[in-house]
Structure 1
Amino acid sequence: MSAIKYPIQGSCQCGGVTYQLLEPPLMVAACHCRECQKLSTSAFSITAIVKASAVEFSGDMSDWSRSSESGSINAAKFCPTCGNRMYHFDPQAPEKLKLKPSNLSDTRVIDPSMHIWVSEKQDWYKIPEGVTVFDKQP
């Protein structure tokens, strides 16, 4: 397999929001909490933690937020036309973004090294060996 070349292009389903990921993610995690199951309409959601300075967005995005179990705010940016979630962020830590990387043109960066909230994992999904696992939020 060839090396991943940056920047990598990304976009929402309709193309109204585009972006470039300029460097590799700091980490990639699979979250199994019920909220992420709702978000992904699947067993878990994939998140790539990136430096905010490592991604450049173009296009209008809408906002949404909710409180997390810890009481912090989990804010999100999404395309107002097609509804694709682009990233989440903590307003208290704006230097990092929780990018939703499935909309990248090269998805080889999606290789979770961590699975979180496995206490809410679907019983039928088997977590691969060799990854770090947390019952809840680390």
Structure 2
Amino acid sequence: MHNPNVKFPISGACQCGQLTYQLFEKPKMVLACHCTECQKLAGSPFSVTAVIDTSAIKFSGEMKEWSRSADSGNENIAKFCPNCGTRIYHYNPADMSTIKLKLKPIAPEVANLFEPSAHVWVSKKLSWYTIPDGMKCIDKQP
């Protein structure tokens, strides 16, 4: 559950520290995605994505981008650090109101802010991973 005592803005940085950001409000939602693309991205059974209002975050540093078509047919553009390769966020150029933040702060006092409220694409979930009891599960994309 979200810690109501989190003080904004909170900061995050890529692995090498070249790219930083300040987040000024809590995410709109946080999802654990089990699609095969997120499994590739994370190198794990799922990737955690925080949906953020574009106006609630400010980035500093250089980013490069890569794009692919999503299953929905939308374009999915990924921003990443050109030095260390850390994935920063994704966005759909047809809807610039939000971004899908991949790089979350790891400080213990803000970690719960990025706890998923649902698991999506569970139809692609790896058999050896068990979703916690009581977690909302969605077969594909919400």
What TM-score do the two structures reach when normalised by structure 2?
0.92
Q: 1:79-98 alignment to 2 at 5 Å?
A: 79-98=81-100
Measure the CA separation in 1 of the matches of 2:39 and 2:126: 9
**Kept after mapping to 2: 8 A contact 1:101/1:107:** no
SS at match of 2:95: coil
Aligned to 2:22: 20
The number of aligned residues is 138
Cα distance in 1 for partners of 2:105, 2:47 equals 13
The equivalent position to 2:134 in structure 1, one of 120, 130, 134, is 130
Distance in 1 (alpha carbons) for counterparts of 2:103 and 2:86: 11
Give the match's secondary structure for 2:6. Answer: coil
Residues 1:47 and 2:80 aligned together: no
Q: Does 1:77 align with 2:79?
A: yes
Code of the aligned partner of 2:90? H
- Aligned partner of 1:112: which letter? P
Percent of aligned positions with the same letter in both sequences?
A: 53
The alignment partner of 2:96 has SS state of coil
Give the alignment's TM-score, normalised by structure 1. 0.94
- Which residue of 1 is the match for residue 66 of structure 2? 64
Amino acid at match of 1:131: M
Structure 1 residues 130 and 56, CA gap change in structure 2 (3 angstroms):
same
Q: Which runs of 5+ in 2 are unaligned?
A: none
Unaligned runs of 5+ in 1: none
1:39-83, Cα deviation, whole Å (9 max, x unpaired): 000010000001000000000100111001111111111100000
